[in-house]
Structure 1
Amino acid sequence: MQTLRFRLALLYTLLALVMVGLVSALITGKLLSDLDTQFQVRLDERADNLAGGFNSGSSGLGKQTTPSGGYTMIVDGSGSVIYASAGVSDYDKAPFPYAGQLEVTIRGVPVRTSTRPLTTYGKGGFVWVGLPEDALVAARQSAWQLLWLALIIAPLLMLLLGWLVGRSALDGLKRAAHLADRIDPSQPAAALPLPRRQDEVFRLLTAINRLLTRIDTQQAREKQLLGQIVHELGAPLTVLKASLAQAAGRTGDADVARAALVADELTFTTQDLMQLARGQLELKLAWHFIPARTLQGRLDRLVPNVIFSGDWQMMVLCDPDRLTQALRNLLANARRAAGTHGKVEINLSETPQQVRFTVRDDGPGLPTELGERIFDPFVSGSGSSGLGLSVSRQIAEAHGGHLTGGNHAGGGAQFVLSLPGPELGEDEDEA
């Protein structure tokens, strides 16, 4: 219920409720005031007519002098009732009971009263007239009940109508959000389709398309610059790596050997950067059917003190250079997390469906808050460049496999790189 259309419908309903309630209350109050005024005018006219008739000497005493539904009493100067009409005839010849009262109750019905002086019955004599207010009270109650009923039903209808109208009016914005949500940052962004009506949604999508164009242009420039930097670094690093390897072989100097490992590290980093600059779609594989021992030998030279477990006697269909790059990244991250004297293990297992390389370390494990973001470029949980895992996943997917990662129940991080098994590969070849 937190949608924009619901909040707008609720807001406009509340505003309309306040306005309609205020206007309706004013109208109802004015209507009831007019009814009350008319009732008072009618009462005063009756009182004036009776007083005028008695004062002129044509009172017709003993006859009914008020229309049906009203009450009349004639009171002399001593305060005694000398005439009472039907309904109040019990007070005939008795002391006047309603002195100073403008509202009385007769037989359970509210009655409004009015008096006029009479000169024909001595000083202080007057005529008393009363009209029942039951019809006026009923009209007043009905008006307020209808007002409250309207204030309850109207907002519900307005909320429902506003929600339906808002749903239709904001449908274009909903489609725009859906289209924008489908944008893949790793792929060239296609322009979002524009609606025919040039409203706010049209302007929003147009702004998004302009933004996508600028992002594509900027990403293309960054990749071009990154490719140029990597290209310029590649040749000197290759020469440096070869020279250090030869020097380490001739002298056996430990410092030279460590420098050669640093050169290897930089070489692999430049390969990761080149892969990032090219993008996954440009990753080309050179397939070979090689012994797993070949991969083991390469990895053993690249990352020191790794425990190799499982079956390394099998054959693996892969791009040796790319797979070595992916596994080396996983092992280098594990070594970095476990430290110099920590445990890093890679296990190789095979089923008819897949070949699994499982890399595990006894380090602190992966930050739980990163989740799948650990495979995004430049996101790192171990202080590295943050490229290795992203590139390793790209290489695994290019082989038709996948790479997953998490924390092992026994502690430390664990990554599993899976490739299609031999049976799957044979089926694909036959097809």
Structure 2
Amino acid sequence: MRLPAWMHSLRFRLALMYTLLALALVTVVGVLMTVQLLRDLEGQFQARLDERADRLAEAQNNPAEGIGKTQTVPSGSYAMLVDASGNVQYATAGLQDFMGAQFPFPHLGRVPVNEMPVRVATRPLKRGGFVWVGLSEDTLLQARQSAMRLLLLALIVAPLLTLILAWLAGRRALRGLGQAAVLAGRINPSSSVAALPLPRRQDEVYELLSAINLLLSRIEAQQAREKQLLGQIVHELGAPLTVLRASLARAGSLHTDPDVRRAALVADELTFTTQDLMQLARGQLELTLAYHYIPARQLRERLDRLVPGTVFSGDWNAFVLCDPDRLTQALRNLLANARRAAGEKGCVELKLVGTPTRTIFSVQDDGPGLPPELGERIFDPFVSGAGSSGLGLSVSRQIARMHGGDLVGGNHQGGGAQFVLTLPGSDIDDDAEIGLLAEHHPHLSDIA
């Protein structure tokens, strides 16, 4: 059985802990107080019984003082006089059946009278015989029952009230912690590490937020160092790669050696990898897009040169509103990953579907598919399931989202991986819509 989410909260656990402590405290204190109360009641009852027995015996031992009449027996008490021969000479109401009974009298200690328990005390007389006095335990039993009911009520009500009050107090006390958790959950270390606001009261929540802010400052400093180092590496690689590509291009124009062509493709691969690294170093917020309204076939021609052997399907006569360089980079990364997964003889297909609201690029291969254990982590930087650098998918998703779209991936039914890159639609009919488009895309530089 799955417990509700609120039962896993810190507030509920604290309230439950306080409730258990209150239950233990009320149990111990309540039991001790009840035991002491019952002892006191028992002592008072026994003292009253002894007092009545002593008064009645004194009245019988001193008849000259006029004490010893039946009227002196209080309500709820019973009395009998037993002579020296052991015969019952007198009995109060309710005990007449014992008149004339012979001693030893059997009813000593605690006896039932009229179906009620009666406690007995005896006192010897000077002339012989003794006085038998009984006191009903009805009031004592009622007091015991009342004490037990109060104890049971305290064991039920006190923990329940403690749980409710602790829950309400915990909600107030942990409000700052909950707000801090919400703010911390909104932090995106890849784009922003702004410090969390600190509460005025310097309590445990204040200390926690201070520690989080210190951690964020360290993350920001570490990210700055990493981006600086990454930028320097890319810069150092850029110049040699540019020279290498130019040399291979000249060699390819003079010779038809397949090794030269293969080397040129490797150089292109390294160039795109450095572009991915540069984009990672700069970060999404520092990048801008130069929008163009271009025919999709221009993208197809560029992609066909970059990733030979790709099968293109769909409507490539449509127009696409995008940054051609960035979109080519994103689609090229997807096609390169698909080619690596499918192998040289495998099939890699890029399908384009355009609607007034969306432009959809679907890349599909017949390779082994994505590792199921990676899930969404496949889009994290440096996470790869096909032996690549692990940057391509991360950069491609970033480019898609910069365009206002998205990139998702998974395995299709026929086997192999499938990635779907979606961009907002670009249905332009007249100059008014072009102006509206430019208003929403301030970096729009050319509409062909």
Report if TM-score (shorter chain) is over 0.5. yes
- SS state at 1:166 partner: helix
Alpha carbons of structure 1 residues 171 and 232: separation in structure 2 relative to 1, 3 Å? same
Conserved 8 A contact 2:319-2:426: no
Q: Name the CA distance, whole Å, in 1 between partners of 2:27 and 2:232.
A: 71
- SS state at 2:195 partner: coil
Q: Name the CA distance, whole Å, in 1 between partners of 2:264 and 2:227.
A: 28
Conserved 8 A contact 1:62-1:83: no
Confirm or deny that 1:318 pairs with 2:322: yes
Q: Name the CA distance, whole Å, in 1 between partners of 2:414 and 2:172.
A: 55
Matches within 5 A, 1:44-63: 44-56=50-62, 63=69
* Counterpart position of 1:19: 25
Alpha carbons of structure 1 residues 419 and 347: separation in structure 2 relative to 1, 3 Å? same
Moved more, 134-143 or 317-326: 317-326
Alpha carbons of structure 1 residues 356 and 77: separation in structure 2 relative to 1, 3 Å? same
Following superposition, the deviation at residue 198 of structure 1 comes to 1.6
Q: Deviations over 1:202-232 (max 9, x none)?
A: 2221221111111111101100100000100
Moved more, 19-28 or 223-232: 19-28
Q: Name the CA distance, whole Å, in 2 between partners of 1:164 and 1:87.
A: 60
Confirm or deny that 1:200 pairs with 2:207: no
Conserved 8 A contact 2:365-2:416: yes
Conserved 8 A contact 2:341-2:386: yes
- SS state at 1:19 partner: helix
Q: Name the CA distance, whole Å, in 2 between partners of 1:428 and 1:182.
A: 35
Confirm or deny that 1:183 pairs with 2:187: yes
Q: Which amino acid aligns with 1:346?
A: L
Q: Name the CA distance, whole Å, in 1 between partners of 2:68 and 2:405.
A: 116
2:90 to 83, 105, 117: 83
1:406 to 410, 421, 443: 410
Q: Deviations over 1:24-53 (max 9, x none)?
A: 221122112111111111211222233344
Following superposition, the deviation at residue 101 of structure 1 comes to 2.9
Alpha carbons of structure 1 residues 88 and 97: separation in structure 2 relative to 1, 3 Å? farther
Q: Which amino acid aligns with 2:13?
A: R
Alpha carbons of structure 1 residues 425 and 230: separation in structure 2 relative to 1, 3 Å? farther
Following superposition, the deviation at residue 424 of structure 1 comes to 4.9
1:111 to 107, 118, 122: 118
Following superposition, the deviation at residue 288 of structure 1 comes to 4.0
1:71 to 78, 85, 93: 78
Q: Which amino acid aligns with 1:265?
A: E
Confirm or deny that 1:415 pairs with 2:422: no
2:278 to 244, 266, 274: 274
Q: Which amino acid aligns with 1:23?
A: V
Following superposition, the deviation at residue 165 of structure 1 comes to 1.3
* Counterpart position of 1:101: 108
Alpha carbons of structure 1 residues 202 and 62: separation in structure 2 relative to 1, 3 Å? closer
TM-score scaled by length of structure 1: 0.91
Alpha carbons of structure 1 residues 165 and 289: separation in structure 2 relative to 1, 3 Å? closer
Alpha carbons of structure 1 residues 319 and 72: separation in structure 2 relative to 1, 3 Å? closer
Conserved 8 A contact 2:341-2:367: yes
Q: Name the CA distance, whole Å, in 1 between partners of 2:74 and 2:354.
A: 111
Conserved 8 A contact 2:26-2:154: no
Alpha carbons of structure 1 residues 355 and 109: separation in structure 2 relative to 1, 3 Å? closer
Conserved 8 A contact 1:54-1:120: no
Q: Name the CA distance, whole Å, in 2 between partners of 1:9 and 1:28.
A: 27
TM-score scaled by length of structure 2: 0.88
* Counterpart position of 1:339: 343
* Counterpart position of 2:222: 218
Alpha carbons of structure 1 residues 145 and 98: separation in structure 2 relative to 1, 3 Å? farther
Following superposition, the deviation at residue 60 of structure 1 comes to 7.0
Following superposition, the deviation at residue 58 of structure 1 comes to 5.1
* Counterpart position of 1:152: 156
* Counterpart position of 1:3: 9
Alpha carbons of structure 1 residues 58 and 360: separation in structure 2 relative to 1, 3 Å? same
Confirm or deny that 1:389 pairs with 2:389: no
Matches within 5 A, 1:294-373: 294-373=298-377
- SS state at 2:427 partner: helix
Conserved 8 A contact 1:291-1:315: yes
- SS state at 1:113 partner: strand
Alpha carbons of structure 1 residues 339 and 76: separation in structure 2 relative to 1, 3 Å? farther
Q: Which amino acid aligns with 1:351?
A: T
Alignment length (residue pairs): 428
Q: Name the CA distance, whole Å, in 2 between partners of 1:415 and 1:59.
A: 116
Alpha carbons of structure 1 residues 284 and 172: separation in structure 2 relative to 1, 3 Å? closer
Q: Which amino acid aligns with 2:89?
A: I
Q: Name the CA distance, whole Å, in 2 between partners of 1:72 and 1:230.
A: 113
Following superposition, the deviation at residue 15 of structure 1 comes to 0.5
Q: Which amino acid aligns with 2:19?
A: T
Conserved 8 A contact 1:339-1:363: yes
2:36 to 30, 33, 48: 30
Structure 1: stretches of 5+ with no match in the other structure: none
Following superposition, the deviation at residue 118 of structure 1 comes to 3.0
Q: Name the CA distance, whole Å, in 2 between partners of 1:137 and 1:31.
A: 13
Alpha carbons of structure 1 residues 152 and 420: separation in structure 2 relative to 1, 3 Å? closer
Supply the RMSD in Å over aligned alpha carbons: 2.4
Q: Name the CA distance, whole Å, in 2 between partners of 1:425 and 1:402.
A: 25
Matches within 5 A, 1:237-252: 237-252=241-256
Conserved 8 A contact 1:173-1:201: yes
Structure 2: stretches of 5+ with no match in the other structure: 1-6, 437-448
Q: Deviations over 1:372-414 (max 9, x none)?
A: 3332222223232221111112222333433232222333222
Q: Which amino acid aligns with 1:204?
A: L
Conserved 8 A contact 1:28-1:144: yes
